[in-house]
């Protein structure tokens, strides 16, 4: 089944290797890559710091981690559950960021490349 049969549009052409290199050097692509890096690198560093802190507290601060908050729930359990919550929160933030910032720019670059206007 061709792309014309799927969405009714004209089939897209396959860009050459030279066109890929040209687009990769373009200011639009550089901006896209920089925006991605400005989000991903700090978020990764923040999460790794948070995870390392949790591991170090678990290894060296037994009394603190065993502090009861309520019932049989202690600080260590809450921080451990916080790891899951923060993972989902980071994922949600990235999806929102990608939908707003990255996807429109990537689509424009792709359309330019596949449309033959690179």
Q: What are 9-54's pLDDT values in tens digits?
A: 667 788 888 888 998 999 999 999 999 999 999 999 999 999 999 9
pLDDT-derived band at 118, boundaries 50, 70, 90: very low
Element (H, E) at 70: strand 68-70
What's the token pair of residue 108?
Answer: 């424009």
CA distance 84 to 64: 20
pLDDT of the residue at 83: 96
Handedness of CA 5, 6, 7, 12 (dihedral sign): negative
Tens digit of each residue's pLDDT (9 = 90 or more) over 67-99: 999 999 999 999 999 999 999 999 999 999 999
pLDDT at 117: 52
Q: Name the 3-class secondary structure at 73.
A: strand
Whether 1 shows a pLDDT value over 80: the answer reads no
Q: For the purposes of burial, counting CB atoms within 10 Å of the CB of 113, is it exposed (0-12), middle (13-18) or buried (19 or more)? A: buried
- Output the pLDDT for position 77: 97
């Amino acid at each position: 089944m061709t792309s014309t049969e799927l969405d009714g549009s004209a089939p897209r052409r396959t860009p050459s290797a030279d066109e890929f290199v040209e687009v990769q050097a373009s200011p639009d692509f550089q901006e896209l890559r920089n925006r991605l890096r400005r989000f991903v690198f700090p978020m990764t560093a923040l999460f790794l710091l948070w995870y390392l802190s949790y591991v170090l507290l678990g290894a060296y601060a037994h009394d603190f981690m065993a502090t009861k908050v309520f019932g049989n729930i202690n600080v260590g359990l809450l921080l451990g559950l916080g790891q899951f919550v923060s993972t989902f929160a980071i994922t949600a933030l990235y999806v929102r960021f990608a939908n707003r910032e990255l996807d429109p720019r990537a689509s424009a670059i792709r359309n330019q490349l596949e449309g033959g206007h690179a």
